[in-house]
Amino acid sequence: MRILGISALYHDSAAALFCDGQIVAAAQEERFTRRKHDLSIPKQAIRYCLFAGKTTGADLDAVVYYDNPLLTLDRWLKNCAALGQESVSVVQRSFDSIFANKLWIHKLIENAVGGLGKHGKLLVCEHHVSHAASAFYPSPFTRAAIITIDGVGEWATTTIGRGCGNSIDIIKQINYPHSLGLLYSAFTYFCGFKVNSGEYKLMGLAPYGEPKYYQKIKDCLIDVKEDGSYRLNMDYFLYQRDGVMVDDEFGGIFDGPRRRPETVITRREMDLAASIQKVTEEVILKMVAYTRRVTDEKNLCLSGGVALNCVANGKICDNRLYDNIWVQPAAGDAGGALGAALQAAYGFFKQERKVPARDTQKGSFLGPSYSADQILNFLSRQNASFSVAHTSAELSVQAAKMLADGKVVGFFSGRMEFGPRALGARSILGNPMLADTQQKLNLKIKFRESFRPFAPAVLSEKVGDYFEFNGESPYMLLTAPVNTDLRRDFDLRKYISDSDTDMLPALNEMRSTIPAVTHVDYSARLQTVNELDHPLFHQVLSEFERITGCAVLVNTSFNVRGEPIVCTPEDAYLCFMRTDMDALILENFVLLKEEQKPLSDDVNWKEVYELD
């Protein structure tokens, strides 16, 4: 049984192949086209998945799309009818998208795949069912409660469901225009960040502020019930009828106009971020408690874009309402491709589902890999200078020594990650014990805002030595506090004025013995590294611990701001050469920056990648 799932035409298009009970391949189109959040038909991701599965479009048992276009059309038409004369801008903006693309998705996908499988028909899966399937079926649970929260899919914006064996039932849902995801995106937009990209920034900014607007949000914007259900006051939002989330004054209730992108971040934006984060957590925690009561399930699965809010996920863990929690690492629309394929396999074709002790996501290392011959050929064409490590032990020692010396290392190893997090296959690594690592990475390598925190990768067997956390967090989707005995006294308030703020002095403070991965509230977004998932990355961490006594590394995605995570050796080499990275490891090839000749005909990457 070979099933191809596809997400496209919204954001983060992707393809995923499921064969005989195994997730064979999955990848986002952005990694191939180099256009971040690419929404186009994922032709290159499809091509990769078919190649990885050694199959063709004609030989597939099914091709499945992650959204029901007819239900989406129903929402669009009813939204236009409700708006009356105000619907003109909606029609002008999205008519072609609906009638020229989404209603003809079967033809677009047939052309991209080279057929619609043995039966010649495109299957469709409702958007939030795709999310639910992506969370439940790869999880290590035979049964679980399921919560999905995002912006919108067809009508649903939030669902509560239950998974049991090879079936999923949706128990309750909240419909558009009431959306927790769109509420969070409205604040992302108002604070000057990009929707569907800058939500991570808003979450990272929240600990710098105080939730002074919390009550105003509750009073004016959202009515939250005890069961976690909610309704928005649509008088304050424009997304039903316009191309923007809110007006530039946001109804006049947030002390001034919208922050313009790339301008100074003020205390107001910090307080807005803290406030909407608190409201979001409140809604989610009430919903989680209600779901526990109505399902009586001990396990919880999460998906949808809001499930990438790792701070809220950490709060769910702290509540201990569930024995176990599993979050789909590609929780956004990309993961919908995988969910659609899985729902077809288990829900439609009724395949038997086997549940192992660990999840079936394979560490989310589901993208392409590159052989030594391919890398050698590329480096030779570039006339690059390199050395070769002949064993994994030799490579690990070299990497660990460079990191211990404070060097920043690009690490390219094995199959590319599926989802927005770099997990050791396409990562930039640094020494967490140096106070200036965060500043160096943000300003000289990632070229992004100085306040944004970095995640620790920690040996799974040593996580309790550094963080108030038990268990595993392999996908960097949970936050946990740094252990109190590792912390240093730190008062954020003395660094932040009431107006504009230079955050660099605060970042250079030794907040803990691992300052580069300790956020200003002493939290950290954890990745526990298990030897089963990525043996080489685990070996590098182990060697770094042997040299330094520290079992933690800084791990951030291998890209510059506005660029998708690197996919190919060429992508990695260009990123390495365009930044102040000290070294690049391409499988067993080691490149040092000081030994390389400058790029002779490179373009300005800041003109290639649109800022996020």
pLDDT tens digits along 11-62: 999 999 999 999 999 999 999 999 999 999 999 999 999 999 999 999 999 9
Positive/negative CA dihedral, 119, 122, 126, 127: positive
Q: Is residue 605 over pLDDT 90?
A: no
| Average pLDDT of the chain to the nearest whole number | 94
Percent of the chain with pLDDT over 70: 98
431 three-state secondary structure? coil
Spatial distance between the Cα atoms of 359 and 137, rounded to a whole number of angstroms: 9
Q: Are 448 and 442 in contact (CB under 8 A)?
A: yes
Spatial distance between the Cα atoms of 188 and 186, rounded to a whole number of angstroms: 5
pLDDT tens digits along 285-339: 999 999 999 999 999 999 999 999 999 999 999 999 999 999 999 999 999 999 9
What's the pLDDT score for residue 503?
64
What's the pLDDT score for residue 100?
83
User: Which of the four pLDDT bands, split at 50, 70 and 90, describes residue 506?
Assistant: low
Tokens of 133: 């399937």
Spatial distance between the Cα atoms of 204 and 430, rounded to a whole number of angstroms: 19
Query: What single DSSP character describes residue 195?
Result: T
454 three-state secondary structure? coil
What's the pLDDT score for residue 402?
98
Lowest mean per-residue pLDDT among 329-333, 572-576, 606-610: 606-610
Domain ranges of the chain: 372-597
DSSP H helical ranges for 383-472: 392-404, 437-440
Please state the rounded mean pLDDT for residues 379-396.
97
What's the pLDDT score for residue 604?
75
Percent of the chain with pLDDT over 90: 86
Q: Is residue 342 over pLDDT 90?
A: yes
Reduced to 3 DSSP states, what percent helix, strand and coil does the chain have, rounded to the nearest 5? 40, 20, 40
What's the pLDDT score for residue 32?
98
Cβ atoms within 10 Å, residue 382 = 18
What's the pLDDT score for residue 501?
60
Spatial distance between the Cα atoms of 257 and 247, rounded to a whole number of angstroms: 9
Please state the rounded mean pLDDT for residues 193-222.
95
What's the pLDDT score for residue 398?
98
What's the pLDDT score for residue 573?
97
User: Which of the four pLDDT bands, split at 50, 70 and 90, describes residue 479?
Assistant: very high
User: Which of the four pLDDT bands, split at 50, 70 and 90, describes residue 600?
Assistant: confident
Tokens of 277: 């984060």
Q: Does domain 372-597 have CATH number 3.40.605.10?
A: no
Lowest mean per-residue pLDDT among 56-70, 242-256, 434-448, 540-554: 434-448
pLDDT tens digits along 408-466: 999 999 999 999 999 999 999 999 999 888 888 988 888 888 788 899 999 999 999 99
Tokens of 78: 């009813």
| Cα 159–Cα 238–Cα 244 angle in degrees, nearest 5 | 95
What's the pLDDT score for residue 612?
73
What's the pLDDT score for residue 607?
73
Q: Are 227 and 287 in contact (CB under 8 A)?
A: yes
